């Protein structure tokens, strides 16, 4: 029934990779979608067929040149690498570009980083620029903040994001607030990055999702990368930003392979990424759950649904433009996240969408999150705590029934 | 020249190194009265010793040693004097400014001009003046919530500090910081922190920048030092120890100044600390630990000079414990009922300002009239600061969202596709974020 195409550089605002090495993810062109429209009728509450209120759609006014240019460079060769290598490439390019950029963290120097993101940098730049710190998260994060106030641009690596709970004092009180409390006299251009999320049976303390704890801190930005392309782009953008940025990586995504452009590019910190345009439902996700969603999308497309998948990327602030346009088109929202149910990014996103786009919704917003459970060690239990593709399929089916 | 600090490498913990015992021929500012605390029964025995001989340890310095060395090199015609008239006047004026300013703060607080938590520095002026007057403009100072006088000593104008306390937009932080968050980009005052211990890592970072500039950015003449001021309560906090470790490890140009006034609100230092001699914790991390009488600005100054010189040379950090006292309560909201009146009376006799005045007059460095003139001048400065603060405008609504982000794109993209910060309502402060 539904045919699946692999298209390159199809829709506008396609900033994600267009030639993914893994054939699991397909991008359909808008043309093919409209052909298939007849196969699914989504009747809206006012009796009209799904045609969307196009008059409210605003074309993407803030797409950066860099992002849209990426689509056109897809035809150029580029080079293939893994996500952690993409992070390193971005880091290295920025360190070459600006001598004030430095890295601090545990085992970032001689060991090369526990996930090899900083491998090879210490021999190249020296022990002071790639600083191996003692195990004192609160203090070395504070040290990075002090260094940033006095002119450097440090990148703090948390060996695991969960360890940054120990740095919460410095991140909340100083990182986020000092620019304001000093009346604008000091800027804190730090980047705090590290892997988080649920891995493979790492146990509760190594499987934490700190984005929910940090999201209330005023004065910081949070972004989550999910592909080698956006990992490098976001890393570079975060380093260049004058604001403190927290970059969330995921333990299980470091070995993703993708072909990225040879030319220099950065991704916009505040923008979301359109992964797969669609008509029936908007699925908002980020980080690893993007892949669960895309896996579910395969099944959904087979069943005749047309989900629009957006990787929100910017966890704070939300890109309400991209999200809003999508909601105005599809009128149904499903949020799929790895945060806990209570107080997670999904909870905030639900509130933000309800507040801003309530009139455009045909159904309540459904948010699929992890269970409010400390991640168990046992593999079977661990699987039950996070959202699996089958649940996503079921949720979409239920939402589209309404 | 051999400096008392330079021979330190070992971690040898000295048994009962005595605290600074004054050699009467060198310093006329000695006090022969024992330290009185309401918990004097809890004091370890070593502090009871009076007139005991000074035991010189390689890492614990009795300040009179340092002073003696300087004396022998001095070419001044008055070999007994520690300062010149000019230096003395600078010290005196700075301490008078600190005292007068804090007294005015108390007045203004009770008149309802400033609010919240206000922590006054009366009695501790010798530490601020003694240390900060050794710094250049490019050197950094990091403090705690008791930071008004540190900011003043570093050069922040009194009117800017007073305005900040009144919450006016002309304050050094535009009224957004308040009493506990004094910052100055121009004078390199890096705060002002409400949580204790929070500023120590920031100070360590500023010192790291100094080292980075010298070694990575190849600014060979960069010898900026950082001073971190904090109290006895903070010396039990993890951030303190973590930073001592890192500073010593990387030989950062930082001076950790402990203003030990024996009280953390109502918690006596002796009840909170297993080993109350904080200066002894320096050698455990590989840096010199110095104890100095913090009520004597001349002694503090000597120690500060040595510590700053050490940091500028690249020899690394120093931990200095200043025995000092706050004449007022912890904050203006503190009834201060716990401290023994005898203790307060004792320290009142050791007022650093009176002591310096006495020293300068007895040694014929100044006339009383000159000091009176300084006091009058400072009174006028403080009055003017109050008038300026009174007359300054309060922040308007549009200021609310202005400094949240250095790059206001951080507020995100609104549903209409524009950045929120571009929305005119946003810059008026009436947009909802």
B353-382 pLDDT, tens digit each: 999 999 999 999 999 999 999 999 999 999
| pLDDT above 90: residue A253 | yes
C-alpha distance across the termini of chain A, in Å: 23
A31 is an active site residue = no
DSSP letter at A354 equals H
pLDDT digits (tens, 9 = 90+) for B371-414: 999 999 999 999 999 999 999 999 999 899 999 999 999 999 99
A142, A181, A314: residue with CB nearest B202: A142
* Cβ-Cβ contacts under 8 Å for A314 (sequence gap 6 or more): A221, A222, A223, A269, A270, A271, A272, B412
Q: 3-state SS of A34-91?
A: HHHHHHCCCECCCCCECCCCHHHCCCCCCCCHHHHHHHHHHHCCCEEEEHHHHHHHHH
CA distance A118 to A144: 17
A221/B410 touch (CB, cutoff 8 Å), yes or no: yes
Q: Decide: A289 and A307 in contact? Cβ < 8 Å.
A: no
Enter the tokens of residue B14.
């000295």
Mean pLDDT of chain A: 85
CA distance A382 to A200: 8
C-alpha distance across the termini of chain B, in Å: 62
pLDDT digits (tens, 9 = 90+) for A114-149: 999 999 999 999 999 999 999 999 999 999 999 999
Nearest residue to A250 (alpha-carbon basis) of A161, A343, A318, A376 = A161
Active-site residue (options: A85, A94, A206, A249): A206
Assign B141 to helix, strand or coil.
strand
B201/A146 touch (CB, cutoff 8 Å), yes or no: yes
The mean per-residue pLDDT over the stretch B190-194 comes to 93
A136, A181, A321: residue with CB nearest B414: A321
CA distance A309 to B98: 62
B177/A219 touch (CB, cutoff 8 Å), yes or no: no
Which residues of chain A make contact with B204, given a CB cutoff of 8 A? 139, 142-143, 146
Residue A54 confidence (pLDDT): 38
Confidence of residue A29 (pLDDT cuts 50, 70, 90): very low
CA distance B303 to B292: 8
Confidence of residue A198 (pLDDT cuts 50, 70, 90): very high
| pLDDT above 70: residue B3 | no
Q: Decide: B69 and B100 in contact? Cβ < 8 Å.
A: no
Assign B260 to helix, strand or coil.
strand
Which residues of chain B make contact with A155, given a CB cutoff of 8 A? none
DSSP string of A112-152? --TTSTTTTHHHHH-TTTEEE--S-HHHHHHHHHHHHHTT-
Instruction: Give the lowest-confidence range in A33-37, A280-284, A305-309, B187-191.
Output: A33-37
CA distance A216 to A218: 6
Strand order from edge to edge, sheet including B183-184: B60-61, B289-293, B318-323, B254-260, B226-231, B140-142, B189-190, B183-184
Instruction: Give the lowest-confidence range in A71-85, A241-255, A375-389.
Output: A71-85
Residue with tokens 């009142």: B348
Q: Which residue has the higher pLDDT, A128 or A69?
A: A128
Neighbouring CB atoms inside 10 A of B330's CB total 23
Are β-strands A281-285 and B189-190 bridged in parallel, bridged antiparallel, or unpaired? Answer: unpaired
- pTM surpassing 0.90? no
A137 is an active site residue = yes
Burial of B293 (0-12, 13-18, 19+ CB in 10 A): buried
- The helix (H) or strand (E) run that includes residue A297 is helix A289-302
Are β-strands A101-105 and A153-157 bridged in parallel, bridged antiparallel, or unpaired? Answer: parallel
């Amino acid at each position: 029934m539904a045919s699946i195409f692999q298209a390159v550089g199809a829709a506008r605002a396609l900033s994600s990779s267009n030639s993914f090495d893994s054939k699991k993810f397909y991008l359909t062109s808008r043309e093919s979608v409209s052909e298939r429209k007849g196969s699914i009728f989504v009747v809206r509450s006012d009796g009209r067929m799904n045609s969307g209120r196009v008059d409210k759609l605003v074309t993407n006014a803030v797409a950066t040149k860099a992002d849209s240019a990426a689509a056109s460079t897809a035809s150029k060769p580029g080079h293939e690498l893994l996500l952690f290598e993409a992070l390193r490439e971005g880091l290295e390019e920025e360190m070459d570009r600006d001598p004030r950029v430095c890295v601090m963290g545990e085992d970032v120097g001689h060991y090369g980083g526990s996930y090899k993101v900083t491998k090879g940098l210490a021999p190249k730049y020296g022990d002071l620029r790639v600083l191996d710190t003692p195990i004192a998260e609160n203090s070395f994060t504070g040290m990075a903040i002090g260094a940033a106030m006095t002119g450097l641009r440090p990148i703090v690596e948390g060996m695991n994001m969960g360890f940054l709970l120990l740095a919460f004092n410095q991140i909340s009180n100083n990182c986020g607030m000092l620019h304001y409390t000093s009346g604008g006299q000091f800027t804190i251009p730090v980047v705090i990055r590290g892997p988080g999320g649920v891995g493979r049976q790492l146990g509760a303390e190594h499987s934490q999702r700190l984005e929910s704890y940090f999201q209330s801190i005023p004065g910081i930005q949070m972004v989550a990368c999910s592909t080698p392309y956006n990992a490098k782009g976001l890393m570079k953008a975060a380093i260049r930003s004058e604001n403190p940025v927290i970059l969330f990586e995921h333990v299980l995504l470091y070995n993703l392979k993708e072909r990225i452009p040879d030319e220099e590019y950065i991704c916009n910190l505040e923008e979301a990424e359109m992964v797969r345009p669609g008509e029936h439902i908007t699925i908002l996700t980020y980080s690893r759950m993007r892949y669960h969603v895309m896996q579910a999308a395969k099944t959904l497309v087979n069943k005749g649904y047309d989900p629009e998948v957006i990787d929100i990327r910017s966890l704070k602030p939300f890109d309400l433009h991209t999200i809003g346009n999508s909601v105005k088109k599809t009128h149904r929202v499903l949020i799929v996240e790895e945060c806990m149910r209570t107080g997670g990014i999904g909870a905030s996103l639900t509130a933000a969408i309800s507040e801003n786009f309530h009139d455009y919704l045909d159904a309540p917003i459904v948010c699929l999150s992890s269970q409010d459970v400390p991640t168990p060690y046992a593999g079977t239990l661990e699987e039950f705590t996070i959202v699996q593709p089958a649940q996503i399929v079921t949720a979409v089916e239920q939402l589209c029934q309404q | 020249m051999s400096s008392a600090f330079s021979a330190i490498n070992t971690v040898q913990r000295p048994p009962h190194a005595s605290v600074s015992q004054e050699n009467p021929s060198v310093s006329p500012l000695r006090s022969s009265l024992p330290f009185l605390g309401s918990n004097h029964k809890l004091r370890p025995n070593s502090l009871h010793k009076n007139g005991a001989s000074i035991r010189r340890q390689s890492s614990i310095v009795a300040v009179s040693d340092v002073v003696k060395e300087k004396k022998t090199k001095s070419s001044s015609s008055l070999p007994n004097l520690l300062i010149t008239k000019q230096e003395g006047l600078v010290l005196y004026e700075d301490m008078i400014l600190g005292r007068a300013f804090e007294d005015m703060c108390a007045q203004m607080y009770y008149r309802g001009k400033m609010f919240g938590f206000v922590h006054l520095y009366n009695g501790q002026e010798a530490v601020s003046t003694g240390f900060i007057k050794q710094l250049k403009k490019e050197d950094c100072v990091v403090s705690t919530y008791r930071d008004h006088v540190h900011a003043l000593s570093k050069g922040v104008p009194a009117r800017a500090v007073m305005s900040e306390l009144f919450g006016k937009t002309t304050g050094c932080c535009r009224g957004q910081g308040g009493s506990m968050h004094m910052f100055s980009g121009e004078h390199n005052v890096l705060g002002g922190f409400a949580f204790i211990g929070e500023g120590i890592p920031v100070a360590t970072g500023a010192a790291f920048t100094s080292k980075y500039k010298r070694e990575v950015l190849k600014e060979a003449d960069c010898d900026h030092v950082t001073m971190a001021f904090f109290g006895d309560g903070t010396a039990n906090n993890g951030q303190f120890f973590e930073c001592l470790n890192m500073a010593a490890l990387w030989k950062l140009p930082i001076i950790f100044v402990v203003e030990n006034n024996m009280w953390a609100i109502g918690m006596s230092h002796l009840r909170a600390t297993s080993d109350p001699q904080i200066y002894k914790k320096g050698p455990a991390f590989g840096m010199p630990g110095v104890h100095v009488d913090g009520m004597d600005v001349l002694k503090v100054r000597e120690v500060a000079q040595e510590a700053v010189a050490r940091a500028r040379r690249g020899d690394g950090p120093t931990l200095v414990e200043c025995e000092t006292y706050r004449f007022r309560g912890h904050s203006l909201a503190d009834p201060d009922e716990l401290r023994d009146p005898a203790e307060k009376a004792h320290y009142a006799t050791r007022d650093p300002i009176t002591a310096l005045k006495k020293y300068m007059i007895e040694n014929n460095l100044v006339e009383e009239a000159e000091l009176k003139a300084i006091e009058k001048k400072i009174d006028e400065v403080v009055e003017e600061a109050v008038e300026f603060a009174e007359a300054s405008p309060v922040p308007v609504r549009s200021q609310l969202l202005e400094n949240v982000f250095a790059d206001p794109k951080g507020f995100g993209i609104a549903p209409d596709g524009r950045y929120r910060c571009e929305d005119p309502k946003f810059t008026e402060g009436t947009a909802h974020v």
